[in-house]
Amino acid sequence: MSEMTTLKLPPPKRGLLLGKAGWTGLMLALIVVTVLAPLLNLVVPEGSVFHLSDYAVALIGKIMCYAICALAMDLIWGYTGILSLGHGLFFALGGYAMGMYLMRQIGHDGNYKSDLPDFMVFLDWKALPWAWAWSDSFIFQMICVVAVPGVLALIFGFFAFRSRIKGVYFSIITQAMTFAAMLLFFRNETGFGGNNGFTDFKRILGIPIAQPSTRMVLFVLTGLVLIGFWVMARYLVNSKFGRVLQAIRDAETRVMFTGYDPLAYKLAIWTLSAMMCGVAGALYVPQVGIINPGEMSAASSIEIAVWAAVGGRATLIGPIVGAFFVNGAKSAFTQIFPEFWLYFLGALFIAVTLFLPNGLVGLVAQLRERASTSAKLKQSRAAEQGADPATEIAQEARA
């Protein structure tokens, strides 16, 4: 797209997977997800100020699922230069694959006490559709979580990239694909619950899904998957594969002239990005308790791109920050200003577009660079005047 030439995206880099600060941050994230959060939720009493409520666990778990989608968007958009407005479809497909298994886990605990899901009994279905044949198998459905979005992305991407569709045209057809799928899933005869989707889940792997320990396990698993995907993405973008992706982003024609085939690279990262969204959707459904065609709406896919843009594209950590910042603000505004929260979010997006083209992470990096430049200028001026730079800086700080 045209805006790709105006944003100052970082050039390709090669180096260690993580520096000292990176490993420290990674270990802190692991401790928070696997130790601190469970202790605050399950051990610290509810009356304590340090208690992490079940509501907060569900909210943070949901946002971590969104962060996985934002990270997937960064790989395809920030590092490859392909803006997709269809990632909401891959997210929903993963969610539906998990939802089908959870619906079968309800068993006879449904309102109609039938082997069929309640919505099928209501619609007078006599048997499970062919797509539900293996839906009672957890392993099979987990394969579908990654296989269905992956295969769809592979087929769609092959024809789109082979036809050299790019820029705004690619964005439009991905949104059209998502909208078509949403209309399909809204139909009752497809066997996916129509506009109501799937809900009222009871168990997962035979364990009650509503008990706090189960929700905490889902929370920890989501956090570990997010961290794992981030490490994987970090490895990819620092590898030769990632350097080619960034070259495609900046000058695809030159990449072709050097002997590389952009089709294979774009197709690979596109498919991987779709599968990541499928995993996020599968983790989202048991924590939120519902999945319906609304997750395939145009707004849902656009929001994923917004999270990446607000946090900062081509940074990996930026989209995660953006997902937490935007969804945290949305949650807060809906409680504090229920009538005006949409205006606050609109103002936030406009401000980021106009004043923070590189996102929140880019702003932090810019402020650090300015502070470093200012310190160097002070040192050089002090050296020219024959004064001790450290002494002068200390005097200014005291003043």
Helix (H, G, I), strand (E, B) or coil at 204: strand
DSSP assigned state of 290? E
Round to whole Å and give the CA distance between 319 and 73. Answer: 8
Tell me the per-residue pLDDT of 347-391, one tens digit each, with 9 for 90 and over: 877 887 788 888 899 888 888 888 888 877 878 777 777 655 555
The first and second tokens of residue 364, run together, are 């932090």
110-149: pLDDT as tens digits: 888 888 999 999 888 989 999 999 999 999 999 999 999 9
The one-letter amino acid at 348: L
pLDDT of the residue at 26: 94
CA nearest 286: which of 124, 83, 142?
142
pLDDT in tens, 175-209: 999 999 999 999 999 999 999 999 999 999 999 99
CA separation for the pair 322, 315 (Å, rounded) = 11
Q: What are the domain boundaries of the chain?
A: 2-357, 367-399
Rounded to an integer, what distance in angstroms lies between the CA atom of residue 381 and that of residue 270? Answer: 51
Of 25-34, 126-135, 230-239, 367-376, minimum mean pLDDT range: 367-376
Tokens representing 208 are 């009650």
Tell me the residue length of the chain: 399
pLDDT, tens digit (0-9, with 9 covering 90-100), for 256-303: 998 899 999 999 999 999 999 999 999 999 999 999 999 999 889 999
Q: What is the pLDDT of residue 6?
A: 46
Q: CB–CB of 8/358 below 8 Å?
A: yes
Mean pLDDT, rounded, of the chain:
90
Residue 85 and residue 174 in contact, taking contact as beta carbons nearer than 8 Å:
yes
Q: What is the pLDDT of residue 11?
A: 60
Q: What is the pLDDT of residues 307-352, one digit of tens each?
A: 999 999 999 999 999 999 999 988 888 888 877 777 877 787 788 7
Q: How do 198-199 and 203-204 pair as beta strands?
A: unpaired
